[in-house]
Amino acid sequence: MTIDPDATDHGEVARPHDSRRDPAAVRTGLQRWLAGRVPDPVVGDVHIPESNGMSSETLLFDARWDGADHRLVARVAPVDSAVPVFPRYDLDAQARVMRAVADTTAVPVPHVHWSETDPSALGSPFLVMSRIDGLVPPDVMPYNFGSWVSDATDEQRATMQATAVDVLAQIHTVDPAAAGLDTPPTAGDAIRAHIAAQRGYYEWTTRTGPRSPLIERAFTWLDEHAPDDPNPAVLCWGDARIGNILFDDFRPAGVLDWELATAGAREMDLAWMIFLHRFFEDIATTAGLPGLPGFLRRDDLTDAYALRSGHAPEHLDFHTCYAAVQHAIIMLRIATRAVHYGQSEQPDDPDSMIMHRATLEAMLDGTYWKAPT
What residues are annotated to the active site? 239
R_g (Cα) of the chain, nearest Å: 20
DSSP H or E run through 267 = helix 266-286
Closest residue by Cα to residue 115 from 82, 66, 75: 75
Cβ 79 vs Cβ 55: under 8 Å:
no
DSSP string, 170-200: HHTTS-GGGGT----SSHHHHHHHHHHHHHH
Long-range contacts of 165-168 (CB under 8 A, 24+ apart): 165/301, 165/304, 165/305, 165/308, 166/308, 167/107, 167/237, 167/245, 167/252, 167/255, 168/237, 168/240, 168/266, 168/269, 168/270, 168/273, 168/305
Cβ count near 356 (within 10 Å): 18
CA angle 143, 162, 316 (to 5 degrees): 85
Cβ 186 vs Cβ 234: under 8 Å:
no
* 349: Cα separation from own chain's centroid: 27
Sequence-ordered list of residues with C-beta below 8 angstroms from that of 173, at least 6 positions apart, any chain = 104, 105, 234
Residue 74's DSSP bridge partners are: 59, 128
Pinpoint the alpha helices (H) of 206-260: 213-225
CA distance 255 to 257: 7
